[in-house]
Structure 1
């Protein structure tokens, strides 16, 4: 008994769960998908009108990609439970003036991406409970004044992507509950000053990508609840004073990509709730000292692609909550006030890339203690103060590539213990004594410098194309000695100056270098020069204290370095060469100066270049000849094989 009762109960439960599915599948048209929840989606070019025999409990009907071009007077009949209707991407071009009288219960109507160019007057008026109306992506050029009459419950109106040029001042009158209005991507050139005055509950107003040239004074005065205002990509050339002052709840404001050359004083006052502000891509020439009001919640600020040469020192002073500051791509911006970033205790990213900065004040970044990313690339920075990054204790990334830097202090990143990403390439690094400390830092922090293989020496000539990180301390030993102003002690008697001649052992042109010679000298002791290539070994000349009167001697045509009987390190570390062949490298070894020369004679250089080109051309010719010979050989072999085959047959 209990077993049969249990089985009967299970069958009843199963039947209750199965009936909705069966009923839905029984009446659902073949081109539609009917869900048990009451949502029906239909698609296909075979649909020419709203399908009949839909499930009785259908509350949402969405038709898309159909060939339904007209909504007739009875198309929506017999669908008393339907609350949401959508017909999209179907080339709809006509709506019967009484089409919605048979479906007055609708809460949402979506007619996006069709071919509607006109709408009948008061066509939506029967929908007194309508909350959402989407007409975006059509070809509407005008809106008749009473088209929206009676939609007292409307919350969302989307007119985006149409061809609207002008709107009457009373078009939105009566939409007192509207909180979202999208007029973007149209061709609106001017808006009446009172057009939004009835929209006191509006929270989002989108007018981007139009052709607005001016904003009328007072146009936003009644929008006290507005949170989002998008005005980017228009042609606005000026702003009325205090035009945004009534927007106390505004959180998001975009004015980018307009034609603003100036902004009135105190324009952005009385907006304490603002979290994002964009004014980039405007031909701004200057900014007033009083521009930004109290904005403690501002998180993102975009000010780039302008004609600014500098900005007020207090520009960011009221943005204590700022996290991201994009202040880049200003090709005329060459100067920044020293206290510009004084009051940004929470800033995490600062972008100053692609400006025209030549110099940075030593204290410019001193208070940016939370910055993790600092972008300074693509500027014209020639040098940086030693303590410029001292306050950046949390910085992880610094980008300095593509500037005019020749050297940096060796301890410039000493306080940046968390630094893990540093880029330095595309700078004309001068690999002389001044870069010694920085080269050592690069060697010790190879993992930090991401582009270390591209951090190349541009000068002097003998270091060109070497990486800065490959420079060893031994190569800078000569930097430790102080070069004297004269080559001999001042207590020596009267000196005379004679031209000092040198010549290389490879028969190169004689080099003249100026030095001072003592009045008397002992016969020079000459050591044979080594025979390696163009290497040249100096000959030491020993001198004795000169008695008056002074006399002079002219050295022989050999390379000489003249010193006193005790060798002076400072003197021996100085290479005295003036006119003559360019030297590639020189070094000291066991008291001798080794010099590698390149010929500077124009005729010799030209001859060597001709020989190089001739050899390259000859090589290419031989390669082509060999390829042609192989081709001919292969062809001949093929012919022989063919003849043999025919003979065999």
Structure 2
């Protein structure tokens, strides 16, 4: 047995030695052929990064498929920059100092599928013939440069599927810039200075699925600008200056629409009529003060709706009617002062409801009864008035406190004697309404235990010769408990100075206590 084990171990050691020798030989050979100032992790991928590099290495192996040049001193490229037998499929020139790219630079790179030239701070001009030979290119990224573009610069790239032109200080786009890109699927024009677009700029890009125009200076969308984009699913118009939207401007296949941080003051009731596939809609950080009652009526697929950071003061009771698939509604940072009790009647599967930082003083009775038991709610940052009108919310919080984010920041704004206290820390008995009544003797204050005038106990308060007189009428057979709470001139208060309980009398009848 020992002999077999020794034999087995020797065989394994010999195999491992042969394997290690082969790997070492490969690495030695790889190191010998790897260009200076570059690293070759595989035979097919070379990464060059050195700020002293002024030209691309000439001894790049013909086996290399991916060449990445990062943070070098490269300022110029032309045809001589690449060997004629090089068969690159991916070329990345990132964060360099390029000033000039000759029209014939990529003439021999006919197999190139991905090209990125990004992060050059110097002005970079592309000549008309620059991409003429790159007919197999499917992805082109020209991000964070200072570039100028001719009208037909992209015409040869008929197989192009992704084009990124992000952050190039472009103030305008030639009308025919994308005219020949019939197979384009994704187009990123974000973080430029574009202020206007021609109505037909995307007329030949019918396969486009993703379009980003965020971070520009667009104030108006021309009628029909998206009318040819029947496949468009994702449209990002965030951080522009859009003032109004024309009905029918958005294509019907949209699934995601971002209009965040524009200058929208009002919306047409029909603006979203065709968007039955829409699942995500962001209207936050605009200047909307009111919404049409049927604004969202056709958005039957909508799952996420963001209306936060507007100036909305009230919501029509039917504004969310029919949004049965909704999962999140964000209404925080508006000016809402009241809510309709049936506002979320159709949102029984909602997971998030954000109402924080509004002007809400109470919640109508039954308001949360339609929501799913696991729905997460935000309520902090509202000036809650902790009197009899808030008893429903107080009761709901006690049984659903785990569903409320930042519950410790839900404070009472009024009345003064409990201002600043957490709503959940207030006893139910403290939630009373005190209102002056003109129907009784002047100087008499009516005390309402709750909002229902048919309360079991009805009390009034009057000062007589320096003494406080409280008179209560018990309208049903019940025991009576009296607790007094006194507020001092310095804002402090004494809690429950006196507490007395009267049992219901024998042969109980309506009377005066």
Aligned residue for 2:53? 68
Native 8 Å contact 1:339 1:364 kept in 2: yes
State whether structure 2 residue 124 is matched by structure 1 residue 141: yes
Equivalent residue for 2:134, pick from 136, 151, 156:
151
2:268 to 288, 291, 307: 288
Encode CA deviations 1:54-86: one digit per residue, 9 max, x unaligned: 89x932222124521113xxx434722222222
Q: Residue 164 of structure 2 corresponds to which residue in structure 1?
A: 182
Q: Distance in 2 between matches of 1:114 and 1:562?
A: 84
CA distance in 1, matches of 2:500, 2:13: 104
1:322 aligns with 2:302: yes
Q: How far apart are the structure 1 equivalents of 2:299 and 2:61?
A: 55
Q: How far does residue 468 in structure 1 lie from its aligned partner after superposition? A: 4.5
Partner of 1:338: 317
Task: Give 1:89's match in structure 2, choosing from 71, 96, 99.
Answer: 71
After superposition, residues 104-253 of structure 1 pair within 5 angstroms as 104-138=86-120, 139-164=122-147, 166-253=148-235
Q: Decide which of 285, 289, 292 is 1:312's aligned counterpart.
A: 292
Q: Counterparts in 2 of 1:507-546, with a 5 A limit?
A: none
Q: Distance in 1 between matches of 2:25 and 2:342?
A: 76
**Hey, what's the Cα distance between the residues in 2 that align with 1:195 and 1:447?**
54
| CA distance in structure 2 between the aligned counterparts of 1:477 and 1:61, rounded to whole angstroms | 76
Q: CA deviation at 1:292?
A: 2.1
Does the C-alpha gap of structure 1 residues 394 and 152 become closer, same or farther in structure 2, counting only changes over 3 Å? same
Displacement, 1:445?
Answer: 6.1
What is the alpha-carbon distance in structure 2 between the residues aligned to residue 581 and residue 108 of structure 1?
75
2:133 and 2:491 map into 1 onto residues whose CA distance is 90
Whether the aligned pair in 1 keeps the contact of 2:377 and 2:405 (CA below 8 Å) is: no
Does the 8 Å CA contact 1:316/1:340 hold for their aligned counterparts? Answer: yes
Q: What secondary structure, in the 3-state scheme, does the structure 2 residue paired with 1:390 have? A: helix
How far has the Cα of 1:558 moved from its partner? 7.4
Quote the Cα distance in structure 2 between the aligned partners of 1:86 and 1:445: 55
Could you list the per-position Cα deviations for residues 201-229 of structure 1 after superposition, in whole angstroms to 9, with x for gaps in the alignment?
11111110000011111111111111111
SS at match of 1:277: strand
Contact 1:141 1:162 in 2 (8 A): yes
Higher RCO structure, 1 or 2 (CA under 8 Å, sep 6+) = 2
The alignment partner of 1:210 has SS state of coil
2:330 and 2:470 mapped to 1: Cα distance?
56
Partners of 2:78 and 2:103 within 8 A in 1 = no
Report the Cα distance in structure 2 between the residues aligned to 1:377 and 1:357, rounded to whole angstroms. Answer: 10
Residue in 1 that maps onto 2:458: none
Cα distance in 1 for partners of 2:420, 2:66 equals: 70
Unaligned runs of 5+ in 2: 446-461, 476-480, 503-513
Distance in 1 separating the partners of 2:492 and 2:141: 75
1:456-475 CA-partner distances (Å, limit 9, x unpaired):
55544554555544554666
Hey, what's the Cα distance between the residues in 2 that align with 1:311 and 1:477?
34
Asked if 1 retains the 8 angstrom alpha-carbon contact of 2:218 and 2:241, the reply is yes
Shift of residue 317, structure 1, vs aligned partner: 2.7
In 1: Cα distance, 2:16 partner to 2:418 partner: 87
1:482-536 superposed Cα distances (whole Å, 9 cap, x missing partner)? x99668xxxxxxxxx9xxxxxxxxxxxxxxx789xxxxxxxxxxxxxxxxxxxxx
Deviation at 1:142, TM superposition (A): 1.7
Would the alpha carbon gap of residues 324 and 65 (structure 1) be closer, same or farther in structure 2, given more than 3 Å must change? farther
1:24 to partner: Cα distance: 1.9
Equivalent pair of 1:80/1:105 in contact (CA under 8 Å): yes
Q: Deviations over 1:343-384 (max 9, x none)?
A: 221111110000122232332211111111100111112343
SS of 1:26's partner is: helix
Structure 2: how far apart are the matches of 1:590 and 1:343?
Answer: 51
Gaps of 5+ in 1: 35-39, 407-428, 488-496, 498-512, 516-537, 540-554, 592-649
Cα distance in 1 between the residues matched to 2:431 and 2:111: 85
341, 344, 348: which one aligns with 1:362: 341
| CA RMSD, 1 decimal | 4.1
Q: Cα distance, 1:581 vs. partner?
A: 12
- Residue 59 of structure 1, aligned match among 44, 64, 89: 44
Task: Look up the match of 2:283.
Answer: 303
Aligned 1:582-601 pairs, distance under 5 A: 587=498, 589=500
Q: Secondary structure at the match of 1:147?
A: coil
Deviates more, 1:14-23 or 1:308-317: 14-23
2: distance between equivalents of 1:304 and 1:66? 44
Match of 1:376 in 2: 355
Compared CA separation, residues 455 and 380, structure 1 to 2 (3 A): closer
Q: CA deviation at 1:318?
A: 3.0
Q: What is the DSSP-based 3-state SS (H/G/I as helix, E as strand, rest coil) of the residue aligned with 2:69?
A: strand
The offset of 1:389, in angstroms, is 2.6
Rounded Cα–Cα distance in structure 1 between residues aligned with 2:283 and 2:49: 42
Largest Rg, 1 or 2: 1
Deviation for aligned residue 1:27: 2.8
Q: Is the 8 A contact 2:230 2:251 kept in 1?
A: no
More displaced 10-residue stretch of structure 1: 144-153 or 385-394: 385-394
Scaled by the length of structure 2, the TM-score of the pair is: 0.78
